Amino acid sequence: MTPDAGHAASADLLAIARRIALDVAETALEERRRGIAVEATKSTPTDVVTAVDRDTEARIRSMILDARPDDGIFGEEDDTHVGTSGLNWVVDPIDGTVNLLYDIPAWSVSIAVVDGPPDPEHWNAVAGVVVNPVSGEVFAASAGGGAHLGDRELRVNTEVALPQALVGTGFGYAVDRRRSQAEALLHVLPRVRDIRRIGSAALDLGAVAAGRLDAFYEQGLNPWDHAAGALIVREAGGRVGGPDGGRENDRLLLAAAPSVFDQLAALLHDAGVPAD
């Protein structure tokens, strides 16, 4: 496949992902306005699932299979659907469920298409969309096609020094992990401009791409939390990586403007992130 043909295919997949994400985002917002409650818990009693999570993923899966029946689907709330095309859709129906539950307007629908297995260390992201249903903002990117917020092309901030960097992060739900993350934060916070904790990794990554944050890091993320957002950062000119200079994984995801990436990686290493 020529580069032009590859870009065209990525753009076509992005168009499908955008259409699906916008459709389910509207329905999820309507459900939130009618009121929601916790339906179940996942890893801990504070890690919750709502009916909106499950209903939204079911709608996404149905729409993907209607449009692309040979593709695989890897999501948070249901079993993996194994496809035959080599492409996998990586789906987070609601990223930021606790924000959704408390009606904090920072939750999102995240849909990505990747070439390869549903493993961020071995896939190549092709297209990704992150929609904030409350604000209506749509972050989107395709491989080689750049990143956009609506019609605006996105670029990460440039010439950022670590002491002036605004850094986003997040915390896990397990008590031991939260404790170690808080201890690491004590090392990081005095050495950067400030810290933000938004509650949706997908929106944090969109914020890095849009220059609203200079960097974002988190431990314990699942592939669906960052599949779309990491591509959006990369297509906006940012760097994304994981432990020891490798690809992002569940031990660490770091996304940042190029000028601050290495400095922040070194700072996190000094703070014991990721823990072995």
**For residue 274, is the peptide bond before it cis, meaning its omega torsion is within 30 degrees of 0?**
yes
Contact status, residue 174 vs residue 182, Cβ threshold 8 Å = no
Paired with 149 in beta bridges are 139, 152
CB atoms within 10 A of CB 258: 14
- Please name which of 106, 79, 82, 80 lies closest in space to residue 94, comparing C-alpha atoms: 106
**pTM (2 decimals)?**
0.94
Where the chain has pLDDT below 70, the residues are 1-8, 39-48, 77, 275-276
Q: Is 45 exposed, middle or buried (0-12, 13-18, 19+ CB in 10 A)?
A: exposed
Tell me, what's the pLDDT at 79? 77
Residue ranges and CATH numbers for the domains of the chain are 3-153 (3.30.540.10), 162-270 (3.40.190.80)
Q: CA–CA separation, 162 vs 264, rounded Å?
A: 7
Using DSSP bridges, classify how beta strands 124-131 and 108-115 pair: parallel, antiparallel or unpaired.
antiparallel
CA 179 to chain centre: 23
